[in-house]
Amino acid sequence: MGTLKKFLLDRGFSAMPLERTRTDHLALSGSLNGVTGRFILDTGASNTCVGLDRTERFRLLTEISEIRAAGAGAVDMETLVSDGNTLALEGWERPDMQVVLFDLSHVNQALESQDEPPVDGILGADILHGGKAVIDYDSCNLYLK
């Protein structure tokens, strides 16, 4: 019997290594608009998000959003949105995507309290559904098509 990796690669998926953090999050590197960043994979997040403090770094053009963000102990946070961005992850790319921006300081404070480096953003269900994601927890890989 073949491996899951071979099965998925033979069907056009790209493999991305995931890093299991001390907090049991799954993190990965990628680039947004050509700028490398560190992201947490969050199957419960509906949208891909970036910290407000990373707006200039990733060259994001923003506008006020009606979306309110909640999660990890914070609720009803104001957000901005940025359209027309390109996310690239290990041979997989999604052009013309929307990114939601909000204050991720509470997320990074929690990570840093466990001696983990901060993240620039969160990869959400928009990427996972759109990329037909398969998460292999055993080998710590993400596959996207």
What is the average per-residue pLDDT within 60-68? 81
Q: Which of 64, 105, 103 is nearest to 82 (CA)?
A: 64
Asked, for residue 73, whether it belongs to a domain, the answer is yes
Residue 70 has pLDDT above 60, yes or no: no
Q: Give the pLDDT band of residue 68 (cuts 50, 70, 90).
A: low
Task: Determine the structural domain holding residue 81 and report its residue range.
Answer: 31-135
Asked, for residue 10, whether it belongs to a domain, the answer is no
Tally of domains within the chain: 1
Residue 67 has pLDDT above 80, yes or no: no
Asked, for residue 18, whether it belongs to a domain, the answer is no
Q: What is the CATH number of the domain that holds 66?
A: 2.40.70.10
